[in-house]
Amino acid sequence: MGQQPATRIDAHFVAAGKYHDIDYARLELLKLLLEHPHIRTTVAQDYSGLERLDQCRFLVTYTCDLVPTEEQAKQLRSWLEAGGKWLALHGTNSILVFTEEGLVDAPDSRADFMEIVGTQFKAHPPIGQFEVEVVNKTHELTKGIEDFEIVDELYLSNTTAPIVTLMQTTFEGEATGFVKGEWDKTSVPILYTRDIGKGRIVYNALGHCRGHYDLPGMQDFYPHKEMCAWNYDVYYDLLRRGIAWAMREES
């Protein structure tokens, strides 16, 4: 007889939103979760049915312009305060509204939710290369990882609550097409933790991806697929570390 499998761990995964290849991200993340056969994951396209979290050790989100209702946000907070663990990815902290002038605004219309996640997306410059600095080199999520360069969509955000930054970059310049388009030199958290009660959020802002058909109503066929961080081994390393952290009972 071989070694008995580990005790079952339940997880919940919200994968949905706009302007991204959600199908690709969903599949890749489910494959990473499946590397641990005792993790059983339910998948949702919005934040309804959060009662499921009562059976789950952790939550994963890969979204864009998708936020919970105020009541659902209260459910999330209560679950976190009781010890839940949340691996939040890329656009989880985004609300997007197009102005009459055609600019993209990121309104402060859901401060309750953005306070939970710790940051709120405000803009991004054109996709390009930037250096990621490992601020904390001893944390389990970063230990052994050196500073690296990556091509991705750099999410510029406002900090909305106390966070502990593990990786960061700096940005100064223009975020074309956004209401908040001009940025003085600022530190940008790339990987951080946010504690709420007995629970914790790990937020990884990397991971943009867009396929040919992800701008319906705007561009029927987007000519150049964008895989960004998904082309890099270090991103998969960070995702695997995030899942390993989320699996454990303790924070």
The residue extents of the domains of the chain are 9-247
Q: Write out the two tokens for 84.
A: 């839940």
Alpha carbons within 13 A on the beta-carbon side of 71? 4
Q: What is the pLDDT of residue 251?
A: 66
In this predicted model, what pLDDT tens digit does every residue of 145-156 receive, in sequence order? Answer: 999 999 999 999
CATH (one of 3.30.450.20, 3.40.50.880, 1.10.150.170, 3.40.50.180) for 9-247: 3.40.50.880
In this predicted model, what pLDDT tens digit does every residue of 114-123 receive, in sequence order? Answer: 999 999 999 9
Q: What is the pLDDT of residue 157?
A: 97
Q: What is the pLDDT of residue 249?
A: 87
In this predicted model, what pLDDT tens digit does every residue of 163-194 receive, in sequence order? Answer: 999 999 999 999 999 999 999 999 999 999 99
Q: What is the pLDDT of residue 173?
A: 97
Q: What is the pLDDT of residue 219?
A: 94
Q: Render 13-79 in DSSP notation, one character per residue.
A: EEEEESSS-HHHHHHHHHHHHHTSTTEEEEEESSSTTGGGGGG-SEEEEEEES----HHHHHHHHHH
